[in-house]
């Protein structure tokens, strides 16, 4: 009896393994797709959902759901997408080829993607000092204000950008110790006319404060745009079977500005590369800051460090350190530009 049971179990197992390997036969793994397209993957294990992004384009997918969502707006369906036993995701061949052609830029896309302007926004100013900190130097209290630190960094980043990018407008929301409102900053950012494939980068610069004097490190916030890309028009929603609607809504919630995240990652990398040995990296955060919520562009907010932390206040008061930080931000912005403005190779 035991023997029979063992045989039956073995048979079941064989059938199961065979069926499993069969089901991913003729399918292309996510790992393969990533290595062929070099798209970036972000995976939400909470939602069991993934997003591939490249060149400012995005594809959302969810194993078990037969469609791909392109740039948050366009749904392409009747695909097979499933989770393999090894944890990898498998796509039917037609899905895989759609993904790679979607990420391949057409000639006109290649030549026209362009950053038109870079807006550097030093926070606060004038009567608004921003956060205030202090540190002890030879027994003397040295006081410092966020508005001054972020202005020096902003001016330096702008000057680095100006010397490298003659074809772009480099705009500072303030270059003096003057008070400007959030609305004014937003108006500056939104007042630039853009052609279809032009974009603006918006980088707001701040220094952090905390009641906890030990809080330390820099962080980069990426910001969702004020405009929500319309996922599906009503006619599409009406024709959708009911059970798909919650999934579409989840995807909508998942909506993010790919570009903002890429820009934030790039700046984080730039800062880490230059000042990573001096200051902790608190990572990327997402927030709807007013100043950038109202701008139609990839926008990030950099917190340089904690002015309320003695040690960090001291380095933030060092002009040489501020130059380094500025270089880190500059490297991040220019890394993003290189990624965004895909150029033709000569002779191509």
Binding site for Zn ion (CB under 5 A): 123, 130, 206
* Orientation angle between helical segments 258-275 and 319-340, nearest 10 degrees: 140
Query: CB-wise, 174 or 206, nearer to Zn ion?
Result: 206
Q: How far is the CB of 281 from Zn ion (least distance, A)?
A: 19
Q: Which is nearer to Zn ion, 50 or 123 (CB)?
A: 123
CB of 226 to Zn ion, least distance (A): 20
Paired residues of 141 in beta bridges: 136
State in angstroms the smallest separation of the CB of 235 from Zn ion: 45
CA–CA gap between residue 60 and residue 81 (Å, rounded): 12
DSSP one-letter code for 205: E
CB of 39 to Zn ion, least distance (A): 34
**How far apart are CB 134 and Zn ion at their closest, in Å?**
17
- Residue 123 or 298 having the CB closest to Zn ion: 123
Residue 123 CB, nearest approach to Zn ion (Å): 4
| Residue whose C-alpha is closest to residue 190's, from 333, 293, 340, 56 | 293
Please, what is the minimum distance in Å from the beta carbon of residue 313 to Zn ion? 15
Nearer to Zn ion, 123 or 154 (CB): 123
The pair of three-digit structure tokens given for residue 147, joined into one six-digit string? 């508005």
Cβ pair 41, 34 in contact under 8 A: yes
Q: Which two tokens stand for residue 198?
A: 């032009």
The closest of 226, 216, 200, 218 to 333, measured between CA atoms, is 200
CB 281 within 8 A of CB 217: yes
User: CB of 273 within 8 A of CB of 329?
Assistant: no
Q: Least separation, in Å, of the C-beta of 157 and Zn ion?
A: 16
Cβ nearer to Zn ion, comparing 52 with 307: 307
Nearer to Zn ion, 151 or 188 (CB): 151
Q: Tokens standing for 171?
A: 């705009």
Q: Using CA atoms, how far apart are residues 158 and 263, in angstroms rounded to an integer?
A: 16
**Planar angle of CA 200, 204, 166, nearest 5 degrees:** 45
46 touches 106 (CB < 8 A): no
Tell me the CA distances in angstroms from 273 to 11, 270, 278, 283, 327, one per residue in order: 56, 5, 11, 14, 10
User: Quick one: 99 or 301, whose CB is closer to Zn ion?
Assistant: 301
What's the full length of the chain, in residues?
A: 348
Which single residue brings its beta carbon nearest to Zn ion?
Answer: 206
Asked if 22 contacts 82 with a C-beta cutoff of 8 angstroms, the reply is no
């Amino acid at each position: 009896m035991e023997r029979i049971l063992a045989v039956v179990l073995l048979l079941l197992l064989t059938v199961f393994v065979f069926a499993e390997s069969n089901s991913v036969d003729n399918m292309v793994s996510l790992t393969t797709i990533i290595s062929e397209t070099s798209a970036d993957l972000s995976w939400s294990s909470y939602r069991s959902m993934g997003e591939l992004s490249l060149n400012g384009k995005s594809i959302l997918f969810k194993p078990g759901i037969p469609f791909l969502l392109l740039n948050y707006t366009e749904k392409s369906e009747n695909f097979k997408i499933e989770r393999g036993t090894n944890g990898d995701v498998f796509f039917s061949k037609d899905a895989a080829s759609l993904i790679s052609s979607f990420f391949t830029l057409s000639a006109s896309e290649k030549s026209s993607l362009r950053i038109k302007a870079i807006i550097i926004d030093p926070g606060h100013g004038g009567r608004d000092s921003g956060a205030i900190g202090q540190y002890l130097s030879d027994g003397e209290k040295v006081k410092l204000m966020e508005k001054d630190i972020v202005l020096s960094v902003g001016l330096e980043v702008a000057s680095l950008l100006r010397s490298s990018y003659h074809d772009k407008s480099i705009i500072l929301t303030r270059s003096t110790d003057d008070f400007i409102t959030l609305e004014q900053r937003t108006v500056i950012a939104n007042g630039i006319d853009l052609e279809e494939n032009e974009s603006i980068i918006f980088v707001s610069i701040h220094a952090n404060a905390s009641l906890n004097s030990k809080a330390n490190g820099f962080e980069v916030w990426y910001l969702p745009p004020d405009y929500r890309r319309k996922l599906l028009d009503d006619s599409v929603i009406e024709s959708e079977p009911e059970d798909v609607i919650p999934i579409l809504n989840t995807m909508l919630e998942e909506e993010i500005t790919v570009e903002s995240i890429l820009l934030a990652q790039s700046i984080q990398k730039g800062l880490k590369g230059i000042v990573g040995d001096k200051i902790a990296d608190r990572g990327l955060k997402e927030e709807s800051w007013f100043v950038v919520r109202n701008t139609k562009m990839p926008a990030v907010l950099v917190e340089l460090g904690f002015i309320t932390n003695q040690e960090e206040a001291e380095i933030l008061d060092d002009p040489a350190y501020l130059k380094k930080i500025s270089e880190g931000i500059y490297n991040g912005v220019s890394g993003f530009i290189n990624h965004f403005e895909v150029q033709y190779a000569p002779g191509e």
